[in-house]
Structure 1
Amino acid sequence: MPAPQFVLASASPARRQLLLNAGIQPFVSPSKFDEDQITLSDPEALVKALSLGKAEAVAPLFPNAVVLGCDSVLAFDGIIYGKPETPEAAIKRWWQMRGKVGELVTGHTLISPKATKTLTRCQVTRVHFGWVSDREIEDYVATGEPMNCAGAFTIDGRGSAFIERLEGCHTNVIGLSMPMLRQMLGELGYRVTDFW
């Protein structure tokens, strides 16, 4: 029996590229889920709720598909950070982060065809930020890259030069833990290779 369609309930080009690199051709259907309705202070609970909301918003449109919803935040010094709202906010955030360690937290929700089963999991990766100069921070923010990312950085772009090391799943920092996805697909009765 062929695998069902795989739907990504996210507009994230980085998540889509991770799936493509792993041999999965997702149909992209960004969720219209209102993230502002979720106000949780625990980062793991927050990303789980957001990933579930996104997946549930898209699943009824694709009843015969496996639907994946994700959401990421950076937990740093007890504060949850999503995407920076302004370049000035991104610069200030980098001043706080440089030389320190934060946690990139990503919620993953998979909904099986006909919504017979829903799985929600969370992956945490510790991110060690390098000591970045003021000029490097300003130049980085001027590229616009950090404006579209939880925590105001990427590991798969220009920001990679500013990350000293990771503890945990590296694809999680890009927005989707591929090992976790494989495990979750297994719980739904699929192999990741079914989607190649």
Structure 2
Amino acid sequence: MRLVLGSASPARLGVLRSAGVEPDVIVSEVDEDALLAQLDDATSAEKVTALALAKARAVAGQVPVEEGDVVVIGCDSMLDIDGELVGKPHTVENARARWERMAGRHGELVTGHALVRLRAGVVEAEISGHATTFVTFAEPTPAQLEAYLASGEPLAVAGAFTLDGLGGWLVEGIQGDPSNVIGISLPLVRKLLAELGVEVSDLWRVPTSG
């Protein structure tokens, strides 16, 4: 079976590789802002799940027909803080404003997941779901925050922080699945794969001895 990750995120790819899976990567070209505009009244979970499904479907349409059994995974992560859903800040100014709001407080990192299974280019089944992890943020000093912003790391990640990089120094704790905070929930993906009739152990690339 071929596993395709429909994401440009090196963090998601790293999680899968560390868990023994070596997926191919095809990046979707979904217009996230346009889709979110259509989901204005949806819940946080509904929004990220809809984005994940749109990405998975878009990437599934790029898989060559001659490929055999393929599962495409699409994900989308955003941070819910005070009922407002925020994604990547993109600029230092936005990231600074996010941190001034988040520091010393809590937020919920919500990741939508969608899996599409294809056989010979034909969609056989699709399934989606979401995972939520409760995050407690530290109160960085002004110097620490400016150094973090200057690193560029928080500009291109949901919620303006990471758990597996420099941002890990600024997270006091989490409740829930840590891999979900990084961008892809291994427990949820395992359950969704099972719903599609796929054992996650069949995807492991375990070195053989000898």
TM range (shorter): over 0.9
- The answer for the alignment partner of 1:101 in structure 2 is 106
- The answer for the alignment partner of 2:135 in structure 1 is 127
- The answer for the alignment partner of 1:156 in structure 2 is 164
- The answer for the alignment partner of 2:23 in structure 1 is 26
**Length-normalised TM-score, structure 2:** 0.89
- The answer for the alignment partner of 1:5 in structure 2 is 2
Letter in 2 for 1:83: K
Shift of 1:61: 2.0
Letter in 1 for 2:113: H
- For 1:128 and 1:55, the matched residues in 2 are separated by 30
Structure 1 gaps of 5+ residues are: none
- The answer for the alignment partner of 2:62 in structure 1 is 61
- The answer for the alignment partner of 1:37 in structure 2 is 34
Letter in 2 for 1:150: A
Deviations 1:127-178 (A, max 9, x none): 0001211221111010000011000000000110110100110000000000
Structure 2 gaps of 5+ residues are: 205-210
- Root mean square deviation of aligned Cα: 1.0
- For 1:139 and 1:123, the matched residues in 2 are separated by 31
Deviations 1:40-92 (A, max 9, x none): 34211110110000000010222541000000000001111100031011011
- Give yes or no for the alignment of 1:89 onto 2:90: no
- For 1:127 and 1:148, the matched residues in 2 are separated by 18
Please tell me whether Structure 1 or Structure 2 has the larger radius of gyration of its CA atoms: 2
Shift of 1:34: 1.1
What SS class does the counterpart of residue 112 from structure 1 fall into?
A: strand
Shift of 1:106: 0.1
- Alignment length (residue pairs): 193
- For 2:85 and 2:30, the matched residues in 1 are separated by 19
- The answer for the alignment partner of 1:14 in structure 2 is 11
- For 1:47 and 1:184, the matched residues in 2 are separated by 16
- For 1:56 and 1:18, the matched residues in 2 are separated by 22
CA contact (8 A) 2:153 2:161 kept: yes
**Length-normalised TM-score, structure 1:** 0.96
